[in-house]
Each structure stands twice: as structure tokens, then as C-alpha cells.
Amino acid sequence: MEKFLEAATVIFNEKGYQAARLADIVKLAGGSMATLYRAFGDKVGLVHALMERSINQFGRSLDELSSSSLPPHEALEQAACKMVEEILSPARIACHRVVIAEGMSQPELRDWFQAHGVTTMEILLSRYFAREHDAGRLHIEDPDLAARHFYMLVIGGVILRSVNGRMGADDVPLAQEQARSAVTLFLNGALPRT
């Protein structure tokens, strides 16, 4: 099954969802069309499996944040750097390309990704912000809103640039530097200090 997922990542990134053919994925992965159909059902099932694997890998950085005892600035920087590294993985780029390009024609995939990927990550961030607020280490009046802002500030632009081909795995160091800067801006704001 892994070979099919790896091949699907390559083909979806090269051709996009609509132009990707299962025959191309089978050819690249080896195996047979019958095996692919047994494992995933169809192209939608294959994309769903790719998204599920990607979401599980992405969640690890926020699981680590949830259990971190580091000061917020350090913990959030570590999480942000891991988040952008995963966002720029070929599998995650393929998932985002499908969700963004096919969201209107494949609403079930788009909605599943939102519910299991984005919303789940925002919930984990919100819990972290609430915990740090309660401990007096951060002042966050609305943890849910702060989570949405943080998520978009840190990785929103990375997602857009990776989907349109302007950023990829080679850009991880630059994206991590930008993520650290985003954490500082998030925590300190932009107003002059008095």
C-alpha cells in the first residue's frame, strides 16, 4: 500500500488530480490495478488514504506542543518549524493541491480534510493556548480565535506558495526562518513597545 501512496504523491504533484490516471500510479508503484482497487477502491479512496496518512504525520508536531514544558516562545517555534517542514513534504503538497483545486467538485474530500486536518490542528492549538493562558504564561482571551490566527500566520502562506509551485522541500530552511518570525510577531504583536 505504501508504494501506491508514494506513487500517487508523485503523480498527483506532476499531473494534478484530474489528469492523474490510476494506470500511471500502478505503473510507477508496481503491482496491479486489482491490488490498487482492493486497497483503496478508486481514485477518491486513494486520495483519502493519502490525506489520512499526511494528517497523522502532521499531528505529531502539535502533539509534542501539547505536552511541551518549554516556555511558549520556544515551544511554539519548535512546533512551527516542524509544521512548515511537514507542509512542504511532497505528500502534504499533493493533498493541498487536491483540496484546493478540487474542493468544489470533490466537497466530501475537502470537508473531510477540513474536519480531520485543519479543525483538529486548530483544536490542539486552542487547548495549548488555553493551558498557557491559565498558567499565566500567555494572555489569550479567545484561544479558538488565537489558534486560527496562529495556524494561518505560520503556515497559510506556505501552503499557498507550495500549492502554486513557488515553494517546495528545498525551501524548508527559509520557511522555518519565516515561521520563527511569525511566532515572534504572534506573541509580541506589531505595536511599538512603551
**Of 144, 184, 175, whose CA–CA distance to 157 is shortest?**
175
By CB atoms closer than 10 A (0-12, 13-18, 19+), residue 165 is exposed
Q: How far apart are CA 41 and CA 167, in angstroms?
A: 32
Q: Length of the chain in residues, anyone?
A: 194
pLDDT in tens, the chain (194 residues): 899 999 999 999 999 999 999 999 999 999 899 999 999 999 999 999 999 988 887 777 788 899 999 999 999 999 999 999 999 999 999 999 999 999 999 999 999 999 999 999 999 999 999 999 999 999 999 999 999 999 999 999 999 999 999 999 999 999 999 999 999 999 998 888 77
The separation between the first and the last C-alpha atoms of the chain, rounded to the nearest angstrom, is 58
Radius of gyration of the chain (CA): 18
- Check if the beta carbon of residue 94 is closer than 8 Å to that of residue 168: no
pTM: 0.89
Tell me which amino acid residue 64 is: E
- The answer to whether the CB of 91 falls within 8 A of the CB of 53 is yes
Q: For Cα atoms 50, 55, 60, give the angle at the middle one, nearest 5 degrees.
A: 135
Distance CA 171, CA 85 (A): 9
Contacts 24+ apart (CB under 8 A), 26-35: 29/3, 29/4, 30/3, 31/3, 31/4, 35/4
* CA–CA separation, 52 and 5 (whole Å): 11
